[in-house]
Amino acid sequence: MTVRKELLNNIRIVDPYVPGEQPRQKVVKLNTNENPYPPAPEVKAVFDELKEDEFRLYPDPTSGKLIKALADQLKVGEDQIFVGVGSDDVLSLCFLTFFNSEKPILFPDITYSFYQVWANLYRIPYVCPKLDGKFRIVKEDYYKVNGGIIFPNPNAPTAIYEEVDFIEDILRHNRDNIVIIDEAYVDFAGKSAISLIDRYDNLIVTQTFSKSRSMAGMRIGYAVSNPELIRCLNDVKYSFNSYTMSCAAISCGAAALENTEYFKTNISKIVQTRENVKEQLRDLGFECTDSKANFLFVTHPRYDALKLFEELKEAGIYVRHWNDPKIKDYLRITIGTDEEMKIFLDFLKKKIGA
Amino acid sequence: MTVRKELLNNIRIVDPYVPGEQPRQKVVKLNTNENPYPPAPEVKAVFDELKEDEFRLYPDPTSGKLIKALADQLKVGEDQIFVGVGSDDVLSLCFLTFFNSEKPILFPDITYSFYQVWANLYRIPYVCPKLDGKFRIVKEDYYKVNGGIIFPNPNAPTAIYEEVDFIEDILRHNRDNIVIIDEAYVDFAGKSAISLIDRYDNLIVTQTFSKSRSMAGMRIGYAVSNPELIRCLNDVKYSFNSYTMSCAAISCGAAALENTEYFKTNISKIVQTRENVKEQLRDLGFECTDSKANFLFVTHPRYDALKLFEELKEAGIYVRHWNDPKIKDYLRITIGTDEEMKIFLDFLKKKIGA
């Protein structure tokens, strides 16, 4: 049965966004910036103890247990946190809630690709200042008239982190605009801009459980700001769907925050692997940005990135490549375990080192 | 810190929707139409076996395992199903995707309250035909010019179910409009309109795991239609958030469909309890609609509904009441276990029967 033209007239037609590949067969999976280590043991323990009654009942619409655990962890009020189904859900709601100006919002020309998708979906005008020759954000570009600002720190896929005073300079020049700092990777990098929340009422910081907390599968993200902006987000969220966070996400998310020791060890293992791999790639002639994330952004002067991407894939090693002309010579490589990175490096050594 | 007026100018301000009460203390909870019985044992088994690796990896963005299980169950193609975070997520996306006409959409004046919230949020014009004196939908009201139609069957909170030929009449008079039948409660009622999908390209049917499948806590809903309309929904969904369904929701949802025997027994227990309670309420002088859902919609000629609602609450028995003048004399009572209903009825007998 084909749907008739008459019926299609009033349907919203959008450019389909196709998510990255999620191979289910056994591969060395270095393509979607997941954490190679399992979540804290507390998570599985809490998960296994979830009562059947919690399945049949609606979850707490305020996600109270998770909000409380985050507030304790981040040393902010419970009314300063908003949780959602991954940071994509949180960021998408932020676009809808906070970017309602006629003036264009600003985000870098090389950055997380979903910003453009949301801006188009919600018909928000936008301008994308260029990164400099070293893939750095030029802060002065964000001092001009705008309807809001968003960028990740560290930026993706460049992996470059800017210090908190850089963020503060942008906040100071944008007192009447909302500035969203997307800190998906900040735990691998340095200080969070959450430290500025009390001084800048225009700041929203988002973070996620998908990277440093090893919980991409459970879909948990959150925003931190002042109570007034968080209330605006909640009001919009409750008009879509009161119960977005499942019983499992709420309980496991709270449990994931309990074990700081495990968290720190996990992070430092990944950072150490990252620095080792960076060095070995440089020895092989690769150029890497100064990555502070759980991935590397690399190019080789003598090897075609797309070709290398395909050869790696054929060998069962998945990394990420974009056809965007600005970054088509680069690959993004997620930091896996030392064993996974050895397989990756051995392949490159055979190919390039020879 | 108070957010300055300058900053609030460009923020989307919406009327906050406040979800129903979710008491965490021990009460007789007959207020949000949950299933009193746990999900099929297969669900907990699959849940307990989820590997830690599934926590750390992004879930399958296509929710393939769940889609396949649903397609097998419903005897439709896998490309005819869309899954989301509860039917609220699915319905909200349907409004955004399919209701883009300048003409008003139609839904009953007494129905699921979220329809009006979404219409307002997306600025969709709407008209609400009145139910008749017996709370029935008048199908001829849906034959006039419109930009789309939605209603639940059984309707909520009236609990009245219309047969499939009633739905078909509306479909036939609306060949160029999308008609969405929200079948959250259909498993307690009768035949699903899914049987009409192959003959009407304008039909979308939504269902949920929150009621008959005892899984409100896991947030799973779905839409069934022809492949072309399902593709439109997916395109819009992927522009928000590729990974909405957690690893737990995908696996548990698929497992919940395995045990048809358990499902049928569960439903028939609830239906039997419903019919018993209906009779006993009538003996106490209550008027009940001919409920085919997992809840009753009742009024008493001599007792004020709001007062009764409050007295029940004081006694630890939660039911639902609305201040809407059209239904302020009514209470909605979820069907619980026989034990829970006995507590409820004993309270009423003492109050009213005396």
Do A170 and A124 sit in the same domain of this protein?
Answer: yes
Please indicate, yes or no, whether the overall pTM of this predicted structure exceeds 0.80.
Answer: yes
> In the numeric block, which tokens belong to residue A129?
């200042």
Per-residue burial over A25-59, b if 16 or more Cβ lie within 10 Å, else e, is eebbbbbbbbbbbbbbebbbebbeebebebbbbbb
3-state helix, strand, coil in chain A (%, to 5): 40, 10, 45
Please list every residue in chain B whose beta carbon sits closer than 8 Å to the beta carbon of residue A99: 10
Q: Are residues A241 and A340 in the same domain?
A: no
For A:46-105, CB contacts with B below 8 A are: 47-48, 50, 52-61, 85-86, 88-89, 92, 96-101
Contacts of B49 in chain A (CB under 8 A): none
Looking at the structure of chain B, the number of domains it has is: 2
**Is B44 inside a domain boundary?**
no
The minimum CA-CA distance between A92 and chain B, rounded to whole Å, is: 6
B146-180 pLDDT, tens digit each: 999 999 999 999 999 999 999 999 999 999 999 99
Do B78 and B113 lie in one domain? The reply is yes
Per-residue pLDDT tens over the stretch A72-97: 999 999 999 999 999 999 999 999 99
- A196 and A307 in a single domain? The answer is no
Say yes or no for a CB contact (<8 Å) between B215 and A249: no
Same domain, residue pair A187 and A84: yes
B13 pLDDT higher than 90 = no
CA atoms B267, B268, B269, B274: torsion sign:
positive
**CATH code: domain of residue A332:** 3.90.1150.10
Out of A180-189, A307-316, B33-42, B125-134, pick the least confident.
Answer: B33-42
Contacts of B242 in chain A (CB under 8 A): 17, 19, 88
Section B176-205 average pLDDT = 97
| Residue B43 placed within a domain | no
- Is A31 in the same domain as A57? no
Mean per-residue pLDDT for B325-332?
97
Helices (H) then strands (E): counts for chain B: 12, 12
Which parts of chain A fold into alpha helices (H)? Answer: 5-8, 41-48, 52-56, 64-74, 86-98, 114-121, 164-172, 227-240, 247-256, 260-283, 305-314, 338-348
**Are residues B205 and B265 located together in one domain of the fold?**
no
The number of residues in chain A equals: 354
Other Cβ atoms less than 10 A from the Cβ of B344: the count is: 22
Do the domain assignments include residue B346?
yes
Domain end (from B238, B256, B274): B256
Same domain, A242 and A305: no
Q: Which of A328, A351, A207, A332 is nearest to A277 (CA)?
A: A332
Q: What are the DSSP E strand ranges found in chain B?
A: 28-29, 81-84, 105-106, 126-127, 149-152, 179-182, 203-208, 221-224, 287-288, 295-299, 317-318, 331-334
Task: Return d(Cα A157, Cα A231) in angstroms, integer.
Answer: 31
pLDDT > 70: percent of chain B: 96
Q: Is residue B81 part of a domain?
A: yes
Residues A37/A337, Cβ–Cβ less than 8 Å = yes
**CB of A280 closer than 8 Å to CB of A287:** no
Judged by CB atoms within 8 Å, which residues 133-152 of B form the interface with A?
Answer: 147-148
Amino acid at site B247: C
Provide the CA A3 distance to its chain's centre, in angstroms. 38
- Are residues A129 and A210 part of one domain? yes
Taking residue B288's Cβ as centre, other Cβ atoms within 10 Å add up to 18
Interface test with B, best of A146, A214, A241 (most B CBs within 10 A): A241
Average pLDDT on A311-328 reads 95
DSSP string, B83-144: EESHHHHHHHHHHHHH---SSPEE--SSS-THHHHHHHHTT--EE-PPP-TTS---GGGGSS
| Pairing outcome for strands B221-224 and B81-84 | antiparallel
Task: Please answer whether residues B182 and B151 qualify as being in contact, where contact means their C-beta atoms are separated by less than 8 angstroms.
Answer: yes
Residues A277 and A175 in one domain: no
Task: Report, as an integer, the average pLDDT of B73-92.
Answer: 97
**Residue numbers of the domain that contains A234:** 41-256
Tens digits of residue pLDDT in A252-276: 999 999 999 999 999 999 999 999 9
A127 and B CB contact within 8 Å: no
In a domain, B302, yes or no: yes
Q: Do the Cβ atoms of A229 and A94 come closer than 8 Å?
A: no
Would you say B209 and B253 are in contact if contact means Cβ atoms under 8 Å apart? yes
Minimal CA separation from A284 to chain B, in Å: 30
Do B99 and B165 belong to one domain? yes
Examine the fold and report which residue of B203, B237, B256 is the final residue of a domain before the chain moves on: B256
Q: End-to-end CA distance of chain A, in Å?
A: 57
Residues B100 and B243 both lie in one domain:
yes
To the nearest whole angstrom, how far is the Cα of A324 from the nearest Cα of chain B?
19
